[in-house]
């Protein structure tokens, strides 16, 4: 055993889980001094420490394990506290008020086809039973007569034990755990007796003897572990003489024994026998390795035994990623990169599931980064809506090209947002707005009118009034709607005329008159700024253009100034506006004026892989210094 127990197992409660499971040890469980509390320790079956913490609850009568490696701590008052393998508290339940009053004398944890159960005897000599702790139903049994017991001994069984020990019943034997070692006591199977007993004439014994004669080097002591090696060698030797023998069972057994040897290593601590392994099943073994976070070993076993990805490697990777997103010492960027590299395109692993786990842990930004790796928009959108990232959800739905998904998001936004914000959000997504207009034409005519009003779309508003007039039966109502249509048609015509007049005034250099027209007709800011920017650049009025850029914050941004100046072949003027561009557009602006160093600085500062790649694609062989800087920055980001 790897542990070092100074006082051995004396004055301790000890419980070991079946199938070579973990060991729990509580020293001096009835100690009540608040200044010196009992220590609850959890070890692997090989004695490697897993968890340790002071026991702060009431006196413990019994410890036991569930079939899923959860620790049950049964207290004197009938409370049962449940901890996971790593010592984290999960939940608790009570065995009833009657137990609280009469206290627990003795308790046992047992396993049955119904699940893990608990049985206790109270101070009033009454039994209380729960056959399945996951579906708690308490049963009271009649009073038990005092001084009654049942003991069964086998007079032929002798096994000397020097130190205090704990006996744990297993499927095919008894685990004997002491402070220094662990042994498995089991009856030698009949098939092994037939092979190894003196003068045996069983086929297996004869084959083994033939192999010994054939290979003298295998004359080894017939220890239990070595015997397996001898028997396998003999079986391999014997099958060479058979023509119609399928080697599948032999190969399968060899693979299983190799897996068992791997999990029996002290660093893993799962001392399973082959019979226990077969009863447990391979899937449960993989689950136990994953639960203990032995991910590389679990993946290696899955690949070695050729388990289908969705049952094996992908399932392990999914669990690994779910644990990875909970690591608080790593940044969102580092975790997202690590998950992407490790998981890749593994079948059966959903990035949206991993992102959902990150969101549950309070890491919303990490969840968004992980969703970028999710290929299925239908999986991205619901989680984004749950995270209240509605605009991003709408963008993803539009990118997917799935109209049903777009309608789903639009309907969600309509119910969650106020009317003004809802319309403004749709205005930023033309595809979604177009689909919503189609829906409104069929279902919500009044909403369609509000949309046209919001957009100042006088032409379509006029068309709406004309269509609506045909549905009116009263002449006065119909005339009123048609008059509204005439008014809107006039506004639409005037708006078009105002735009054309403004372009003409700006071309003539009559800026004050153009600005007055812009105010009178309430021309949108963006439209006016674009018209004036193009006009001043085409006329090469650079000084006037610079004054205009400083008049107020540009509603069209400053990248537009850079691009228009470049279009008019004036790189010198374009460079004046690069510093005013937002950080997200800095790289694009520097590249527009052929400033590779500035573009590299901006990309490195933002640590943006795509932007660094864009700058590298523009570099030539003469830009070696810039290329080296970018490559170093990319390598540094990859290490993090």
Q: CA 108, CA 9: separation in Å to the nearest integer?
A: 19
The residues pairing with 140 across neighbouring beta strands, listed in sequence order, are 128
Calpha distance 445→437 (Å, rounded): 9
Tokens linked to 148:
């009654």
Provide the pairing of β-strand 173-178 with 23-27.
unpaired
User: Does residue 223 register a pLDDT over 70?
Assistant: no
Neighbours of 280 (CB within 10 A): 19
CA distances, 49 to each of 7, 60, 76, 266, 615 (Å)? 17, 21, 27, 11, 52
* pLDDT for position 208: 72
Q: Is 70 exceeded by the pLDDT of residue 22?
A: yes
Q: What percent of the chain has pLDDT over 70?
A: 88
Whether the predicted pLDDT of 66 surpasses 90: yes
Question: How many CB atoms are closer than 10 A to CB 144?
Answer: 12
* Per-residue pLDDT tens digits for 539-571: 899 999 999 999 899 998 999 999 999 999 999
Cα(first)–Cα(last) distance of the chain, in Å? 39
- Give residue 399's pLDDT: 83
On the question of pLDDT at 521 being above 80, the answer is no
Instruction: Report residue 178: phi and psi, to 5°.
Output: -125, -175
Coil, strand or helix: which one is 23?
strand
Pick the closest to residue 23 from 252, 232, 178, 226 (CA basis). Answer: 178
What pLDDT score was predicted for residue 416? 82
As a whole number, mean pLDDT of residues 5-30 equals: 86
Q: Are 161 and 176 in contact (CB under 8 A)?
A: yes
Burial class (CB in 10 A: 0-12, 13-18, 19+), 169: exposed
Closest CA to 273 of 282, 264, 284: 264
Q: What is the pLDDT of residues 169-210, one digit of tens each?
A: 888 888 888 888 888 888 888 878 888 888 888 887 877 777
Write the burial class of residue 12 (CB in 10 Å: 0-12 exposed, 13-18 middle, 19+ buried).
Answer: buried
Q: In this predicted structure, what is the pLDDT of residue 499?
A: 66
Q: Dihedral, CA atoms, 58, 63, 68, 70, nearest 10 degrees?
A: 30
Q: Which two tokens stand for residue 172?
A: 């095919």
pLDDT at residue number 495: 57
- What is the length of the chain? 640
Which domains does the chain possess? 12-140 (2.130.10.10)
Under DSSP, the state recorded for 144 is P
**Predicted confidence band of residue 214 (pLDDT cuts 50, 70, 90):** low
Q: Where are the beta strands (DSSP E) in 137-231?
A: 138-143, 165-170, 173-178, 182-185
Segment 346-360 mean pLDDT: 88
Confidence at 155, pLDDT banded by 50, 70, 90: low
Is 214 in contact with 233 (CB distance < 8 Å)?
no
Only one residue has tokens 């001096």, namely 28
Write out pLDDT tens, residues 293-319.
999 999 999 999 999 888 889 999 999
What angle, rounded to 10 degrees, do the helices at 430-443 and 419-427 form? 130
Residue 463, CB-side half-sphere exposure with 13 Å CA sphere: 7
Residue 149 pLDDT: 41
Cα separation, 132 vs 111, in Å, equals: 9
Residue 110 banded pLDDT, cuts 50, 70, 90:
very high
**Residue 400 structure tokens:** 């997917």
3-state secondary structure of 425: helix
CA atoms 381, 384, 388, 394: torsion sign = negative
Q: What percent of the chain has pLDDT over 90?
A: 29
Pairing assessment for the beta strands 71-75 and 60-65 based on DSSP bridges: antiparallel
Measured CA to CA, the distance from residue 626 to residue 241 in angstroms comes to 70
Question: If pLDDT is split at 50, 70 and 90, which confidence band does 33 have?
Answer: low
- Residue 422 CA to residue 174 CA, distance in Å, equals 69
For tokens 């024994």, the residue is 257
Q: Tens digits of per-residue pLDDT, 366-390?
A: 998 998 888 787 888 888 888 888 8
| pLDDT given at position 581 | 92
Cα torsion angle, 271, 276, 279, 281, sign: positive
Closest residue by Cα to residue 238 from 197, 283, 191, 203:
203
Cα-based distances in Å from 341 to 347, 355, 364, 597:
14, 15, 20, 30
- CA dist., res. 239 & res. 218, Å (int): 18
Question: Which residue carries 């998904």 as its tokens?
Answer: 405
Alpha-carbon span 430 to 455, nearest angstrom = 12
Q: Can you tell me the distance from the alpha carbon of 599 to that of 616, in angstroms, rounded to the nearest whole number?
A: 10
Q: What is the pTM of this model?
A: 0.59
Can you tell me the distance from the alpha carbon of 392 to that of 421, in angstroms, rounded to the nearest whole number?
15
Q: Residue 633 pairs with which residues in a beta bridge?
A: none
Q: Between 57 and 482, whose confidence is greater?
A: 57
Rounded Cα distance, 546 and 576, in Å? 9
What is the pLDDT of the chain when averaged over all its residues?
83
Q: For residue 1, give the DSSP letter.
A: -
3-state secondary structure of 250: helix
């Amino acid at each position: 055993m790897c542990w070092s127990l100074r006082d051995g197992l004396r004055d301790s409660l000890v419980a070991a889980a079946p199938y070579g499971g973990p060991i729990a040890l509580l020293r001096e469980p009835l100690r009540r001094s608040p200044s010196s509390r009992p220590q609850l320790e959890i070890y692997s079956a090989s004695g490697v420490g897993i968890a340790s913490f002071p026991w702060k609850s009431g006196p413990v009568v019994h410890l036991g394990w569930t079939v899923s490696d959860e620790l049950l701590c049964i207290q004197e008052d009938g409370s049962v506290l449940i901890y996971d393998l790593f010592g984290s508290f999960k939940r608790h339940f009570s065995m009833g008020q009657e137990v609280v009053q009469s206290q627990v004398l003795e308790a046992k944890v047992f396993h049955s086809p119904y699940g893990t159960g608990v049985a206790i005897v109270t101070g009033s000599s009454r039994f209380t039973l729960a056959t399945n702790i996951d579906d708690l139903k308490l049963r009271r049994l009649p009073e038990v007569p005092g001084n009654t017991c049942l003991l069964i001994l086998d007079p032929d069984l002798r096994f000397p034990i020097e130190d205090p020990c704990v006996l744990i019943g297993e499927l095919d034997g008894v685990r004997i755990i002491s402070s220094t070692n662990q042994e498995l006591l089991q009856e030698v199977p009949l098939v092994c007796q037939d092979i190894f007993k003196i003068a045996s004439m069983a086929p297996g014994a004869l084959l083994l003897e033939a192999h010994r004669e054939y290979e003298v080097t295998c004359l080894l002591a017939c220890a239990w572990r070595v015997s397996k090696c001898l028997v396998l060698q003999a079986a391999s030797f014997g099958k060479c003489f058979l023509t119609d023998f399928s080697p599948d069972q032999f190969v399968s057994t060899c693979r299983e024994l190799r897996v068992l040897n791997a999990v029996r290593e002290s660093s893993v601590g799962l001392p399973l026998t082959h019979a226990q392994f077969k009863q447990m099943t391979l899937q449960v073994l993989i689950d136990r390795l994953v639960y203990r976070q032995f991910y590389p070993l679990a993946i290696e076993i899955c690949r070695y035994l050729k388990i289908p990805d969705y049952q094996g490697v992908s399932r392990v990777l999914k669990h690994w990623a779910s644990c990875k997103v909970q690591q608080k010492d790593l940044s969102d960027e580092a975790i997202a990169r690590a998950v992407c590299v490790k998981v890749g395109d593994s079948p059966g692993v959903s990035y949206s599931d991993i992102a959902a786990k990150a969101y549950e842990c309070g890491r919303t930004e990490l969840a968004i980064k992980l969703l970028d790796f999710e290929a299925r928009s239908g999986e991205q959108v619901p989680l984004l809506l749950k995270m209240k990232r509605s605009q991003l959800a709408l963008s993803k739905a539009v990118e997917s090209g799935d109209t049903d998904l777009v309608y789903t998001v639009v309907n969600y936004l309509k119910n969650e947002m106020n009317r003004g914000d809802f319309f403004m959000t749709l205005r930023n997504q033309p595809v979604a707005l177009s689909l919503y207009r189609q829906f409104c034409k069929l279902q919500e005519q009044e909403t369609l009118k509000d949309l046209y009003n919001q957009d100042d779309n006088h032409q379509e508003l006029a068309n709406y009034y004309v269509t609506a007039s045909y549905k009116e039966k009263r002449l006065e109502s119909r005339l009123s709607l048609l008059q509204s249509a005439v008014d809107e048609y006039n506004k639409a015509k005037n708006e078009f005329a105002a735009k054309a007049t403004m372009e003409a005034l700006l071309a003539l250099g009559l800026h004050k008159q153009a600005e007055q027209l812009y105010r009178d007709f309430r021309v949108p800011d963006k439209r006016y700024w674009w018209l004036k920017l193009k006009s001043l650049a085409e006329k090469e009025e650079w000084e006037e253009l610079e004054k205009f850029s400083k008049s107020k914050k540009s509603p069209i941004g400053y990248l537009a100034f850079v691009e228009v100046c470049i279009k008019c072949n004036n790189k010198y003027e374009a460079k004046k506006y690069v510093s005013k561009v937002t950080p997200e557009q800095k790289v694009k602006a520097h590249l527009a004026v052929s400033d590779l160093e500035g573009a590299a600085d901006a990309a490195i500062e933002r640590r943006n892989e795509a932007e660094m790649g864009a700058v590298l694609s523009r570099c030539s062989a003469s830009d070696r210094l810039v290329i080296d800087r970018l490559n170093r920055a990319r390598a540094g980001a990859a290490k993090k």
